[in-house]
Amino acid sequence: MHKPMPETGAAREDILRDLEAFKARDPSYKEWRLWSLVYYLDEQHSTFLKDAYHLFSSENGLNPGVFKSLKKLESEIISATADILHGTEEVCGVVTSGGTESCLMAVKTYRDMARDKRRVRKPEMIIPETAHVAWFKASEYFNVKIRLVPLKDDFTPDLKKLRRMINRNTVMILASAPEYPHGTIDPVQEIGEIAQAKSIPLHVDACVGGFILPFMAMNGEPIPPWDYRVPGVTSISADVHKYGYAAKGASTITYRNLDYLRYQMFVYENWPGGIFASSALLGTRPGGGYSAAWATLQSFGKDGYRKLAADTLEAVNRLKEGVSAIEGLEVMGSPQGPLFSYRSTDPELNIYAVGDQMDARGWQVNRNQHPPGLHAMVTAQHLAVVDDYLADLRAAVDVVRADPELAKQGGAATYGMLAHVPLRGMVKKKVLEMYSEQYRAGGGELNLAASSEEGVTGGSPGLLDRIVAWYVDRQSKRG
């Protein structure tokens, strides 16, 4: 049911108190027990971001000619990004609202470019199985067919198969640095050679890595080149609101030169409201996102980010070592960046039941599927909780070993069951139905944990439980 708009306004102190109360029911990220949704450093940095955001919270980046301040901020964010990505002066780009917008824009750009230059009418893109869901979203939105490259045992895409997928309809190839599910940096140099030989654009999705891998490399980490140093790379997405520690709502999409970027632009010259031009998906573009992103880059500089990268790497290495030392667990692949996943090597040890035990100890652990695993997106401040996490993980593994029935309960049962539902199309249809329900007017209160994108594959099992209940019921009716 709709909750009506109040007839009269309430006192501002009361409203702010209400907001604080809503917030109090959310997961507490300030103890660094949450992974991937929030990149929180400390109160000082958060206050600084708020101040910077607030200064431009009314300004609108829609028309770069009006708020020249915002265009300056955007240009400087793009220049700083091009600098750390080893771009030349030709590199250009746009600040977007987030990683998803940046990825969507790359697909639109390359689709339109192939249509214009090569008359491609049935566009296809080649992406590894580990590509972020944003790419699957882009495929649906922009009608670009996906050719999905299977993985080798080390979680990198099978390049022989990738090469065979190229045809005259291919508009782009994707590599990730790193990919979200296991943290593997795709072999960008090799993919770059293939792309260049066939004159196909190569986008690197560095939404996660863009603001940390360069600083790990500056600190001496042997990270193979994956940015504009690789000749075949034509564009890169890099999120300031992840490892740049900006406020939410700031990513970048850069291109090797304007010949690519111009296909991202939208112009409509016959609108009664005037001639309209737009550089990315949004119309009104929130000025606060720019100012907070610009401020965070100025505040840390390369030195600051190198220190954050060093702390993150120490945390991630200690976590990986600690996980590997637990009998029955292994890190998946060879992740080099700030995140990793791990799985069970022991059929008696159900990894989702371990996840449930971690949740019970106050952690918010994301789940992987195909293969089942647990995920950790590590930030600099997780260094403070490495020992607690590993102690809880050891205890969780002991509890699950001592009680195999746990694999049939809670989230473990849900995830186990979902993996075995044979008709994926049916699962999709049901998720769609239940997910949409949460957006019914007045709905969704305190159910929001299951309404995030992450919630479909990880995080809260609320939505998933309901899907499993529906499936079990359906099976039992069918006898």
43, with CB counted inside 10 A (0-12, 13-18, 19+), is exposed
Cβ atoms of residues 151 and 158 within 8 Å = yes
* Residue 74 makes contact with ligand PLP by CB under 6 A: no
Query: Judged by CB under 6 A, which stretch of 12-20, 94-102, 435-443, 459-467 contacts ligand PLP?
Result: 94-102
Q: Measured from the CB of residue 99, what is the shortest distance to ligand PLP in angstroms?
A: 2
134 binds ligand PLP (CB under 6 A): yes
Minimum CB distance to ligand PLP, residue 176 (Å): 5
> Is residue 112 part of the contact set for ligand PLP (CB under 6 A)?
no
Nearer to ligand PLP, 251 or 279 (CB): 251
Angle 285-287-289 from CA coordinates, rounded to 5°: 90
Choose between 286 and 410: whose C-beta lies nearer to ligand PLP.
Answer: 286
33: nearest Cα among 301, 299, 358, 271: 358
CB of 91 to ligand PLP, least distance (A): 20
Instruction: Give the residue, chosen from 35, 82, 100, 374, that forms a contact with ligand PLP under the rule CB under 6 A.
Output: 100
Judged by CB under 6 A, the residue of 176, 341, 366, 379 near ligand PLP is 176
Residue 427 CB, shortest distance to ligand PLP, in Å, is 22
Regarding 99 and contact with ligand PLP (CB under 6 A), the answer is yes
Question: With binding defined as CB under 6 A, does residue 459 bind ligand PLP?
Answer: no
Any contact of residue 186 with ligand PLP (CB under 6 A)? no
For ligand PLP, the nearest residue by Cβ is 99
Q: Of the ranges 95-103, 288-296, 329-337, 398-406, which one interacts with ligand PLP (CB under 6 A)?
A: 95-103
Tell which one of 85, 91, 103, 107 touches ligand PLP (CB under 6 A). Answer: 103
Determine, following the binding rule CB under 6 A, whether residue 113 of this chain makes contact with ligand PLP.
no
Which residues, 199 to 228, sit near ligand PLP by CB under 6 A?
205, 207-208
Kindly tell me which of 100 and 460 has the beta carbon lying closer to ligand PLP: 100
Binding residues for ligand PLP restricted to 219-278, rule: CB under 6 A: 239, 251
In the complex, what is the shortest distance from the CB of residue 420 to ligand PLP, in angstroms, rounded to a whole number?
27
Q: Which of residues 282-321 bind ligand PLP (CB under 6 A)?
A: none
For ligand PLP, the binding residues (CB under 6 A) are 98-100, 103, 132, 134, 176, 180, 205, 207-208, 239, 251
